[in-house]
Structure 1
Amino acid sequence: MTNLRAIDIFVKALEGGSIASAARQLGISPAAASQNIARLERELGTRLMTRTTRSMALTEAGERYLARVAPVLDELARAQADVSLVHGVVQGRLRVACMAAFGRHVLAPLLPAFQARHPQLELELLVTDRDVDVLKEDVDVSIRYRDVLEPGMSVRPLAAMPRFLYASPAYLEKHGRPQVAEDLLQHACLQYRRERDGRFMRWPFVRDGRRVDPGLRIAAIGTDIDALVELAVAGGGIVWAGSFITQRHVQEGRLVPLVLQPARKGRKAAPGPLQLEEVTLDFFACFRDRQYVPAKVRSFVDYLLEVLPGHPALAQVMSSEAP
């Protein structure tokens, strides 16, 4: 009887692009993974893949074999998950990829309670803003905001986190408090740029209902939003950030949320006043398989949907009156 372990290694090596990748996923050495594939090829009496130190490719026989065995492994995994649920047990390894700031400030503090519910579940957290290949890196579920969703993935909305302008009390005492959006053009602004693609996170300025990019005075540009928030705390300027990042600083008085007044429209023929829209940072759970979501993933996402509505960042009260 052909060893299912060897078949699993063979399939994971193809999914991850290397035998070393399969070995990492299964917690064995690359040498052991390679020996298992070689043993499988001997049992089948044919070469399944050609491999060099830098690449690997399926033979014709390997392509036909993969097409038959991959669905079988998927069905076995589903059967195991379904059986475990009969006994109310969610088990196995759950690998979650998450945007860095959300992982630090929102997800990590919520995980101990989830682990207490499912002690037989092994949790692995991949916290990064880089592009994550969910197949090659064997990620069960990734948490991303709307701007970086991948087409073709199955998604489920998790939370819409408010974003506001913030400055330190020391900065406002020295430079004054902006009252309307136009005032921001005279202030030091801290701009976030995504490391993954180099794009700036545009502040949501609008004029006459259309998005515009006025000439802000950029005091600093950063690829880490936490670093920019700390710069604002130190009096370096005004930052536009998610409330889940700033809530602790606001509660302890190190940052002040800025609420702008709507500007009055001037002459009818003239361009309308600059405004700053209220927008949220919308987070989604993303799955690689539209047809089947494992029980461990369903339990994790259901837990997040249960606890996220009570997150302190969503209850941050904004006063419309300047102090």
Structure 2
Amino acid sequence: MDLLGLIGTFIRVVENGSIAAAARAKGMSPAAVSQSLSRLEAHLGVRLLSRTTRSMILTESGQRYFEKVRHIPHDIDLASEAAARESKPQGPLCIATTAAFGRHVLAPLMPAFKAAYPGIVTELISTDRNVDHRLEGVDVSIRIEAQLSDQLIARKIVSLPFIFCAAPAYLARAGIPQHPDELSRHACLVFRYPTDGRFLPWTFMVNGQPVSARLNPAFISDDIDIIARIAVNGGGVARLASFVARPLIEQGLLVPLLQSDPTDGIDMASLPMDIYACVNERSALNSKVRAFIQFLEESI
């Protein structure tokens, strides 16, 4: 018997003045509220409420009982808040992540996460293959949309832009593409997804319309950092996540391409990369996993 639940329903009825009002407040049916009151009265062996079709009043026993229990829900809330404040998540936390995201985004954040949660011991698995949460002891995985599975519960935590770019030396030799249609005439550095061998498409929104570029693969790799190195050394045009491309652009090693140009009336953007935090079931969303996801959202 859920005695605390029955007591809570009884308190709601008294405070709201009727079974119907208490039912609305608790999102229950009036019949269910009435049954809860009957079970509580049967458990106590006393009549708490005198109910008729038109009125409802506390009996003498009901009044005494109400005065003794009315504080219980509030005390439980205070105790829960105190426990949440006083306890920090702790213990092992295994995180699986795509290789590039782990290397460029998660690794630099890990010292700050450890400082915020010193009791958590973090293991980071960096791989582009699909890990099995149960078999490999993974608590949470960070995945891109192409990795999502019906067997996992996914929550999008951030959308990050892709940046098309090339080295100044390549652009001086091959020219600067102005539209996605022109990429078929350029050397394209293409990422092959390691789990199924697909090329990840190069898709744009141009003036509100989706445009998929026809690729002319010059180099192919399943490692985005290899593609970035080839691009820096003049190998062609690369499509890199912003966290890979921006440091190289800031150093002058790469030049961003195919961006919106208000002077020409062109609104152009690459479709972003959506990043998801995934668990194998809702019960896996324990305090450690919640703390990590919240930290990641706030940090990025």
Q: For residue 285 of structure 1, what is the amino acid of its counterpart?
A: A
How many angstroms does 1:86 deviate by? 5.8
Query: Residues of 1 paired with 2:212 and 2:107: CA distance?
Result: 36
Displaced runs of 4+ in structure 1, greater than 4 A? 82-86, 205-213
Map residues 245-284 of structure 1 onto 2, 5 A cutoff: 245-260=244-259, 278-284=270-276
Pair 1:134-2:126 in alignment: no
How many angstroms does 1:235 deviate by? 0.2
**Helix, strand or coil for the counterpart of 2:240?**
strand
Map residues 157-306 of structure 1 onto 2, 5 A cutoff: 157-204=156-203, 209=209, 212=212, 214=214, 216-260=215-259, 278-291=270-283, 293-306=285-298
How many angstroms does 1:176 deviate by? 1.4
Query: Residues of 2 paired with 1:83 and 1:91: CA distance?
Result: 17
C-alpha contact 1:85 1:295 (8 A) present in aligned 2: no
Pair 1:123-2:161 in alignment: no
Q: 1:116 to 1:169 in 2, by over 3 A?
A: same
TM-score by length of 2: 0.66
How many angstroms does 1:173 deviate by? 1.3
Q: For residue 151 of structure 2, what is the amino acid of its counterpart?
A: G
C-alpha contact 2:114 2:120 (8 A) present in aligned 1: yes
C-alpha contact 1:178 1:184 (8 A) present in aligned 2: yes
Query: Residues of 1 paired with 2:183 and 2:241: CA distance?
Result: 18
**Helix, strand or coil for the counterpart of 1:135?**
helix
Unpaired runs of 5+ in structure 2?
A: 1-80, 262-266
Aligned residue-pair number: 214
**Helix, strand or coil for the counterpart of 1:125?**
strand
How many angstroms does 1:303 deviate by? 0.6
How many angstroms does 1:211 deviate by? 5.5
Query: Residues of 1 paired with 2:151 and 2:197: CA distance?
Result: 23
The farther-off stretch of 127-136 and 174-183 is 174-183
Root-mean-square deviation over aligned CA pairs: 2.4
**Helix, strand or coil for the counterpart of 1:253?**
coil
Query: Residues of 2 paired with 1:277 and 1:246: CA distance?
Result: 15
Query: Residues of 1 paired with 2:190 and 2:221: CA distance?
Result: 6
Match of 2:29 in 1: none
The percent identity for this pair of structures is: 40
Q: 1:206 to 1:114 in 2, by over 3 A?
A: closer
Q: 1:213 to 1:182 in 2, by over 3 A?
A: closer
**Helix, strand or coil for the counterpart of 1:239?**
strand
Q: 1:246 to 1:154 in 2, by over 3 A?
A: same
How many angstroms does 1:291 deviate by? 4.0
C-alpha contact 2:93 2:122 (8 A) present in aligned 1: yes
Query: Residues of 2 paired with 1:297 and 1:261: CA distance?
Result: 38
Query: Residues of 2 paired with 1:151 and 1:83: CA distance?
Result: 37
Q: For residue 219 of structure 2, what is the amino acid of its counterpart?
A: A
The farther-off stretch of 147-156 and 163-172 is 147-156
C-alpha contact 2:167 2:254 (8 A) present in aligned 1: yes
How many angstroms does 1:105 deviate by? 0.5
Q: Deviations over 1:119-155 (max 9, x none)?
A: 1211100000011000001111000011111113222
Unpaired runs of 5+ in structure 1?
A: 1-81, 263-274, 309-323
Larger Cα-atom Rg: 2
Q: Deviations over 1:57-89 (max 9, x none)?
A: xxxxxxxxxxxxxxxxxxxxxxxxx99856322
C-alpha contact 1:178 1:260 (8 A) present in aligned 2: no
C-alpha contact 2:191 2:200 (8 A) present in aligned 1: yes
